[in-house]
Amino acid sequence: MGMWNRTAETLSRDEYAKLQLEGLKKSLCRVWSNDFYRERLKRGGVSSPEDVKSLDDLARLPFFTKEDFREAYPLKMSCVDRRDLMEMHMSSGSTGTPVVMAYTKNDLLQWAECMARCYAMAGLEKGDALQIIPTFGLFNGGFGCYHGARKAQLFTIPASSGNTERQIRLMRDFNVRGFVSVVSYVPRIIEKLDAESGGDRDIPSLRVGIFGSETFSDETRRRIEERLHIECFDIYGMTETGGIGTTGQDCRAHAGLHVWEDQYITEIIDPKTGRTVPDGEYGEVVFTSLNREAMPIIRYRTHDISRVVSRGKCACGRTSLRIDRITGRTDDMLIVKGVNFYPRQVEQALKEIPGVADEFQIILDEAGGVTEVTINVEAEPGVSGHAVAKHLRERLGFLPKGDVFPVGTLPRTEGKAKRVIRRG
């Protein structure tokens, strides 16, 4: 299996540990020069960067969260001179003040390096045509894919989002081998292909789909792979870590997400106590950057739920830590009638029902302290609401309301799918 940077991707555990301690010390010294970081660290009990002498001392540092980024808006967390900033991206800000990430030249190179590794991991090589479907704008997806594609010397089709018919035509006309997208957009591509008259309703050149920003089940992966005749990859990264792909991806062995350990320290903690959990146990993912210049992160709580799968050598030859694909978020857990569940569990349960399609909605109606849940799904003719409800009750532990709709009738959105709708 091809590697972009074999040396960095096959280090020994001792070599990774040495790089991480050096990078941690460097990052702490960098953020100590920034008033915002320094005050936060002092409040967390850190008196000096010299407090950290080993990787074990990482646990003594305070956590940082999305609220820190929001409080520091727009650039209070920047650790470089304003003239050294070359680019910025930010979150949508739909739930409050947006999260901003600024980049120096070296930060952009680091991002491109991480993305180039992801492309190589998916089997893409110099000259292969890559279609970038994430939006080019303030959101980091499109530009992150582009920076990495330039680094990897891929033939880039910067399609951006929307206009599914054009997406398909571009893929066919330019013999696209791989594409990057949110996974919830793929059913729209499939719907358009299935609706075509004549022809083989396929995209013959397509071999690779790289999906980020959303969780998806193994059943969704299998359906997409079988229908489009491609191999699916789950890419990981967020605005706060520097963007898409910065923290890793699964390889062709599909045995967990490889984290770039020469770039980030990964911890899995108990979200309630903040203590590290044993390998194999699920918890919240925490990242510390080692080489970011403008806005490093120190023990950043992602809210993403995962577990350490292995610290051993993978079948692909890489030796970096592998974590499980993200199963959900600590802040999107739903509680209905005393039962805790995540949207991904609903997706997994629905995919087990023959004839149920990809689109679904979870509608929460809250009144008088009581939450009622309605789960609407799209399905082929013959799938009854009773059968869907019965299966969901068996898998989730409660009986939701809901109905079955013809395929193509539930609302679609550009970008991330809006699975959970709160009313009342």
Query: By the 8 A CB rule, do 310 and 254 touch?
Result: no
Backbone angles phi, psi at 209, to 5 degrees: -125, 125
Its pTM stands at 0.82
Residues 317 and 411 in one domain: no
Residues 373 and 264 in one domain: no
Q: CB burial class (10 A; 0-12, 13-18, 19+) of residue 246?
A: buried
What is the chain's pLDDT, residue by residue, as a tens digit (424 residues)?
689 999 999 999 999 999 999 999 999 999 999 999 999 999 999 999 999 999 999 999 999 999 999 999 999 999 999 999 999 999 865 456 889 999 999 999 999 999 999 999 999 999 999 999 999 989 899 999 999 999 999 999 999 988 999 999 999 999 999 999 988 889 889 999 998 877 778 999 999 999 988 878 888 899 999 999 999 999 999 999 999 999 999 999 999 999 999 999 999 999 999 999 999 999 999 999 999 999 999 999 999 999 999 999 999 999 999 999 988 777 666 766 666 677 777 887 888 898 998 888 888 887 666 678 889 999 999 898 888 888 888 887 778 888 899 988 888 766 667 778 877 6
Q: Indicate the residue among 310, 331, 352 that finishes a domain.
A: 331
Residues 230 and 340 in one domain: no
Residues 169 and 96 in one domain: yes
- What range does the domain containing 192 cover? 1-331
Q: Indicate the residue among 289, 305, 331 that finishes a domain.
A: 331
Q: Indicate the residue among 309, 331, 353 that finishes a domain.
A: 331
DSSP letter string, 81-108: -GGG--EEEE---TTSSPPEEEE-HHHH
Query: By the 8 A CB rule, do 408 and 378 touch?
Result: yes
Q: What angle do CA 87, 124, 414 make, to 5 degrees?
A: 55
Query: By the 8 A CB rule, do 87 and 80 touch?
Result: no
Residues 257 and 310 in one domain: yes
Which pLDDT score is estimated for 219? 83
Grouping H, G, I as helix, E, B as strand and the rest as coil, residue 200 is coil
Residues 243 and 380 in one domain: no
Total count of domains within the chain: 2
Report the CATH number that the domain containing residue 399 is assigned in CATH. 3.30.300.30
Backbone angles phi, psi at 256, to 5 degrees: 115, 165
Residue in the structure block whose two tokens are 């959900």: 328
Residues 296 and 340 in one domain: no
- List of residues 6+ apart from 381 with CB closer than 8 A: 406
Residues 345 and 320 in one domain: no
Q: How far apart are CA 342 and CA 333, in angstroms?
A: 5
Chain-centroid distance, C-alpha 202: 27
Q: CB burial class (10 A; 0-12, 13-18, 19+) of residue 11?
A: middle
Residues 407 and 265 in one domain: no
Which pLDDT score is estimated for 96? 67
Query: By the 8 A CB rule, do 92 and 146 touch?
Result: no
| Nearest of 125, 107, 154 to residue 295 by alpha carbon | 107
Residues 185 and 273 in one domain: yes
Residues 131 and 171 in one domain: yes
Residues 158 and 174 in one domain: yes
Q: How far apart are CA 182 and CA 186, in angstroms?
A: 7
Report the CATH number that the domain containing residue 269 is assigned in CATH. 3.40.50.12780
Which pLDDT score is estimated for 331? 67
Which pLDDT score is estimated for 369? 60
Structure token digits, residue 297: 């992160």
Cα atoms found within 13 Å of the Cα of residue 207, Cβ hemisphere only = 12
Strands in 212-333 per DSSP E:
231-238, 243-250, 257-258, 264-269, 283-289, 300-306, 308-310, 322-323, 328-329
